[in-house]
Amino acid sequence: MRAGRPTAIVALAVAAGASLVAALAVGSVPLPLHELVGAALGSTSAGADIVLGLRAPRALSGFAVGATLALSGALLQALLRNPLADPYVLGISGGAAVAALAALALGLGVVAVQASAIVGALLTLAILFVLARRSLYSTDMSGGEQAAGSVLLTGVMLASFAAALMSLVLALAPDGRLRPMMFWLLGDLSGATDPWPAVLALVLAIVLLLFAFDHARSLNLMLRGDLQAYTQGVRVAATRRRLVLVAAIATASAVTLGGAVGFVGFVAPHLVRMWIGNDQRVVLPASMLLGGTLVVVADTVARTAFAPLQLPVGVLTALIGVPVFLGFLGRR
Amino acid sequence: MERRLLELVGVTLRTPQRVLVDALSVTIATGERWAVLGPNGAGKSTLLATIAGARPADAGAVRLGGRDVRTLPADALARERALLTDRWVDPFACSALDTVLTARYVFRDEVGAEATARRWLASLDCEALADRDVRRLSRGERQRVGIATALAQETPLVLLDEPTAHQDPRHQALVISELTALSGRAQVASLHDLNAAARFATHALMLWGDGRSLGGPAEEVLTPAVLSDLFGTPISRIETGGEAFFHVHTHAA
């Protein structure tokens, strides 16, 4: 693998910073830069309250959601050797959604909904590992694409089952509670009023990236097939188990924080690959920066475009992401 | 001088339905080139994967340098043997050079790796393909990039599953002559072209696919009688201009 493109990483980091500053400055009360700096330095003005109390938690949440979804998508596309894979393909988010919707249907608060989402995601992950154990723990590398394929199939089945359960919960839920449930399904950051969950998710995102980065060279080889990677020295089965776990935790963290924000986990890794190639050592961090930026921008538009009406951010990620993706695709 | 590198001790290979190879024992030394011959489905690829340590033998053991391959970790094995498999995929865009560079994974020699990779690409007439996307290569070109990848691992044991597949006559001759020219290695290659096998091999291993197998020096086992029995069709040997050729008759009498 040739060296990555540090310049691309720097450019994406700058874009991420700019998107966060813009997210803090733009809104029903536009704030000039010096007020943002003041708020950061601890001044107590109305502007500072808006920045720290409302916009900062939401912007940070958005960034964490986008970054973890993009990490999950990049990992799963590579692990499953399937360009169509996204963070939701293994059913982890489906499990989280069933639990979160059930909590919403019961009229529980934000914390209970988030806790339910985590439990649902982890439970689904455990079921996935039990059902796909023969592929995940196989010591026979000569079976071609069977292992990755069977993990994918198991995940898709879990996702379908979860989708049916979601429909069931939606059908049984009282009418008055359907709107927050729909927003959760579309991906919505308006619940982010406390900065700590977002900070926690960002720390988790960095830990997951460092862990995944350690396996990035192995993942580059695993793209060519299990047998090929194994003969070149990769501990294929162990690496796949660890990275499926990383991807699942990343997805669980994202949906817990922002609901099922669509498209970003699929499109960010593809845009990065089209731009700077497919070395996972670059793809993983670059996808996270791009995914985070995309969600922050989308959410800023979501809460300002039709103000005072707020849109679910998931609508905007696809509305912005699809044309950008098609534009890149057409230029190739 | 002890040059014994690879030992198969009572290796048995089974599918759920039948026994492919029954208690095969064979010793392979550095400098030897073994052609693995047999009809489709006889277990040639399975045997190569088993020798590579990628799957367990259904009975018996494969020893590389005296150690059971199933007890060696993947990275240690990768320094000892390379395998050209027909089981690779190219789901994402990647240049031929980067593909060959994957061979240097365990060696972590990023500085020298590119020169190594380009050298092997050049030896297989793939110099001009270095920057091309492997997904856009012809099957024959992609196969030679695969051979370059296996050789770029620079291991004492080289396993090749049908290296001459998809090659035009000139490139088939090139592949065989490049492999024959490699020194200081042991090679095991499955081949379907009998004349390519005859030029390549110092030894041959025949798999009937029903448990029977026969291994030995090429001049002893690569005979019309054995080959006719192996493939179930009359095969004769024709000598012309000092070279011997196998002729496969299209119809059994």
CB contact under 8 A, B56 and A139: yes
Mean pLDDT of B116-137: 96
Of B138, B99, B137, B105, which is closest to residue B121 (Cα–Cα)? B99
Least confident of A10-24, A245-259, B29-43: A245-259
Whether residue B105 and residue A221 make contact (CB cut-off 8 A), yes or no, is: yes
Three-state DSSP state, B4 = strand
The Cα–Cα gap between A249 and A228 comes to 28
Structure tokens at B219: 């001049």
Q: Which of A178-182, B101-105, B149-153 has the lowest mean pLDDT?
A: A178-182
Q: Which among A2, A225, A273 has the least Cβ separation from residue B87?
A: A225
φ and ψ of A9, to 5 deg: -60, -45
Q: Are B124 and B178 in contact (CB under 8 A)?
A: yes
Nearest one of B124, B152, B93 to A233, comparing CA atoms: B152
Q: Which CATH number describes the domain made up of B4-216?
A: 3.40.50.300
pLDDT digits (tens, 9 = 90+) for A179-235: 888 888 888 888 777 888 899 999 999 999 999 999 999 999 999 889 999 999 999
Number of CB pairs < 8 Å for A and B? 102
Q: Is B93 close to A234, i.e. CB distance below 8 A?
A: no
The minimum CA-CA distance between B102 and chain A, rounded to whole Å, is: 6
- Is residue A331's pLDDT more than 80? no
Q: In residues, how long is chain B?
A: 253
pLDDT above 70 (res A162): yes
Is the reported ipTM for this assembly greater than 0.90?
Answer: yes
Calculate what percentage of chain A has a pLDDT beyond 70. 98
How far is it, in rounded angstroms, from Cα A119 to Cα B121?
Answer: 52
Q: What is the pLDDT of residue B1?
A: 43
User: What are A134's two structure tokens?
Assistant: 């023969």
Task: Please check whether residue A102 is in contact with residue A312, taking contact to mean a CB–CB distance below 8 angstroms.
Answer: no
Mutate to test the interface with B, among A138, A228, A281 (most CBs of B within 10 A): A228
Amino acid A1: pLDDT: 41
Q: Confidence class of residue B252 from pLDDT cuts 50, 70 and 90?
A: low
Q: By mean pLDDT, which of A16-20, A233-237, A308-312 is the weakest? A: A308-312
Task: Determine the residue among A1, A5, A139, A142 to mutate to test chain B binding: the one whose Cβ has the most chain B Cβ atoms within 10 Å.
Answer: A142
Beta strand B186-190 pairing with B33-37: parallel
In B, minimum Cα distance to A239 occurs at: B74
Q: At A328, list the tokens.
A: 């890149």
- C-alpha A13/C-alpha B56 separation (Å) is 47
Rounded to the nearest 5 degrees, what angle is found at the Cα of A224, between the Cα atoms of A137 and A239? 35
Model pTM? 0.89
In the prediction, which pLDDT does A2 show? Answer: 44
Q: Specify the DSSP class assigned to residue B109.
A: -
Kindly give, in sequence order, each residue whose CB lies less than 8 Å from that of residue A153, ignoring residues fewer than 6 positions away. Answer: none
Residue with tokens 């010096």: A34
DSSP 8-state secondary structure symbol assigned to residue B212? -
Single-letter code of the amino acid located at B74: A
DSSP track, A203-271: HHHHHHHHHHHTTHHHHHHHTT-HHHHHHTT--HHHHHHHHHHHHHHHHHHHHHHH----SHHHHHHHH
Do A128 and A90 meet the contact criterion of CB atoms below 8 Å apart? yes
* Each residue's pLDDT tens digit, B160-217: 999 999 999 999 999 999 999 999 999 999 999 999 999 999 999 999 999 999 999 9
Higher pLDDT: A237 or A40? It is: A237
Sketch the domain layout of chain B as residue ranges.
4-216
Q: Is it the case that residue A332 has pLDDT exceeding 90?
A: no
Q: What percent of chain A has pLDDT over 90?
A: 52
Q: How large is the C-alpha radius of gyration of chain B?
A: 18
Compute the distance between CA of residue A316 and CA of residue A173 in angstroms, rounded to an integer: 26
pLDDT band with cut points at 50, 70 and 90 for residue B88: confident
CB contact set of B240 (below 8 Å; sequence gap of 6+): none
What pLDDT score does A3 carry?
43
| pLDDT value of position B76 | 96
Tokens of B204: 């041959």
Q: Over the stretch A67-110, which tens digit does the pLDDT of each residue have?
A: 999 999 999 999 988 888 888 888 988 999 999 999 999 988 88
DSSP type of residue B95 = B
Element (H, E) at B203: strand B203-207
Domains of chain A (ranges; CATH) run: 6-331 (1.10.3470.10)
Min Cα–Cα distance to chain A from B178, Å: 21
Calculate how close chain A gets to B78, using CA atoms only, in Å: 5
DSSP character for A234?
A: -
Residue A149 pLDDT > 60, yes or no?
A: yes
Residues of A in contact with B91 (CB under 8 A): 81-83, 223
Euclidean distance between CA atoms B247 and B194, whole angstroms: 9
Look over chain B and give the mean of its residue pLDDT values, rounded to a whole number. 94
The predicted pLDDT at position A310 comes to 84
Q: Which of B75, B90, B94 shows the shortest C-beta gap to A233?
A: B75
Nearest by CB to residue A221, choosing from B89, B90, B102, is B102
Considering only CB atoms, A224 lies closest to which of B52, B88, B110, namely B88
In angstroms, the CA A148 to CA A237 distance is: 10
Residue A4's pLDDT is 53
| Helix-then-strand count for chain A, H and E | 16, 0
Residue B168 Cα, gap to closest chain A Cα (Å): 25
Contact B142/B165 with Cβ under 8 angstroms? no
Percent residues over pLDDT 70 in chain B: 98
Secondary structure class of B52 (helix, strand, coil): coil
Contacts of A253 (CB under 8 A, 6+ apart): A64, A68, A201, A204, A205
E strand or H helix at B214, and its extent?
strand B213-217
Say if residues B158 and B185 touch (Cβ distance below 8 Å): yes
Q: Which pair of tokens denotes residue A169?
A: 């919960």
